[in-house]
Amino acid sequence: PAAPATVSTHVLDTSAGRPAAGVPVTLSARSGEKAPWTVVGSSETDADGRCRDFPAPPLGTTEVRLEFATAGHVPAASFFPEVGLVFRVTPGEHHHVPLLLSPYGYSAYRGS
């Protein structure tokens, strides 16, 4: 069988121009659009704003959700106290999905 997908992230506070440390992040997975979500693991961004220690989602995972609890951890996140990102994964590939926060907006992309 194919190797599982892997996931990492980092959070940048673009208003401060620096990484956002101490942001709790939860990783959930599901095996199809109508399947229920299962929490796979959780982490907290390090001093560099990164979460590198998520466990691999189970084999058969097709979609992943990252939930960022930004309230109280990133000054720019007062308008968005939490951010959820859902994306599709491919078995055997690494998926790095950064979150960039500003006072009244955020963006995400597939990084490397």
Answer whether residue 65 is part of any domain: yes
Domain total of the chain: 1
The CATH number of whichever domain residue 83 belongs to comes to 2.60.40.180
Boundaries of domain holding 76: 6-108
**Two tokens, residue 4:** 């599982």
Answer whether residue 14 is part of any domain: yes
With a cut of 90, say whether residue 77 has pLDDT above it.
no
For the whole model, what pTM was predicted?
A: 0.93
Answer whether residue 46 is part of any domain: yes
Answer whether residue 34 is part of any domain: yes
Answer whether residue 37 is part of any domain: yes
**pLDDT for res 15:** 86
Answer whether residue 68 is part of any domain: yes
Rounded-to-integer distance, Cα 77 and Cα 45, Å: 15
Rounded-to-integer distance, Cα 13 and Cα 20, Å: 6
**pLDDT for res 109:** 97
Question: Phi/psi at 75 (nearest 5 deg)?
Answer: -55, -35
Answer whether residue 1 is part of any domain: no
What residues form DSSP beta bridges with 27?
41, 66
- pLDDT band at 93, cuts 50/70/90? very high
**pLDDT for res 44:** 96
